[in-house]
Each structure stands twice: as C-alpha cells, then as structure tokens.
Amino acid sequence: MNKPPKIKVLFLCTGNSCRSQMAEGWARFLKSDEIEPYSAGIETHGLNPLAVKVMAEAGVDISGHRSKHLKELMHLEFDYVITVCDAANESCPFFPGRTIRIHKGFDDPPKLAKTAKTEEEALNHYRRVRDEIRAFVEGMPENLIGSH
C-alpha cells in the first residue's frame, strides 16, 4: 500500500531563533512519517541557545539547525504555513497556490525570560512554551484541518 505524500509545513516566526525552531524540531521528532517540516523567519536572529537546551532536555536535538530567512524557502510550495508569533502573522507575505496559512501564536520565551532572576526561572518559560508547541505538533495534521 502506498503511503500518502508528506504534508509540507513551514513554521514561521519573527527571527527563526526559538518558537519556529522548536516546532520544526518537534515535527521532525514526532511526525517525520507524515510531515516534512521547515522553519524560517521574517528576519534571522540566530539559534537561541536556551531553546536548544530545553529541547535537548526533552530528547530533541536542534543544535544543528540554523536561523533561516523566509526568502531562502520561497521556491518551495508548502501545504501549510503556520505563523507561531503575532509579528510574523502580521507581516507574513502572500503564498500563492494551494498554501493554507494558519496562525497559532505562542508566548515569546526570550521576552518572558528578560525579567527572570535566575537561569532556572528563565528556562521555565522556555519549557512551558516548548511543551505547548509539542502538544500542538502532536495533534498535527488533524488539528490543521478546519482551522483555516
């Protein structure tokens, strides 16, 4: 029996440093048989080391990822573009063809961690968002249908 083709998904964020990287990592880790995940940013801010750290705690290695600008992936045709932050949702370019755009915003761990008094307190913000993103990715692709 032939397997259906993988769904091509782009997770889009402002800087492709944290939330979109986590989402791509989770999709590769949990759904690689169904989803071909990518991530990019409207800008590039580099890979966030605390995002790498909390993903590693959960058994997902994203240390080999790099921050990519959306322009690098515009030649690809995505089934879904999922904006994971409000800024990316507001400045997301038009995707021609059959691409379905969905907004699923998550809190910004670096912004939340700015007021943290300790690294552990900062990491707890990253862990919460990591777990929220995991729950969203676990429900894919079913939770994408009907959400647009």
Query: Does residue 18 have an active-site annotation?
Result: no
Of 58, 73, 87, 92, the catalytic one is 92
DSSP code for 70: G
Of 9, 12, 13, 47, the catalytic one is 13
Question: Which is nearest to 123 in space by CA: 113, 114, 134, 135?
Answer: 113
Question: Which is nearest to 37 in space by CA: 73, 75, 85?
Answer: 73
Strands of the sheet with 35-41, listed across from one edge: 35-41, 7-13, 80-83, 100-103
Of 22, 23, 51, 85, the catalytic one is 85
Encoding tokens for residue 51?
Answer: 């995002």
The torsion defined by the Cα of 15, 21, 24 and 27, in degrees rounded to 10, comes to: -140
Instruction: Report CA-CA distances (Å) from 127 to 44, 55, 61, 105, 109.
Output: 22, 8, 15, 16, 9
Catalytic machinery residues? 13, 85, 92
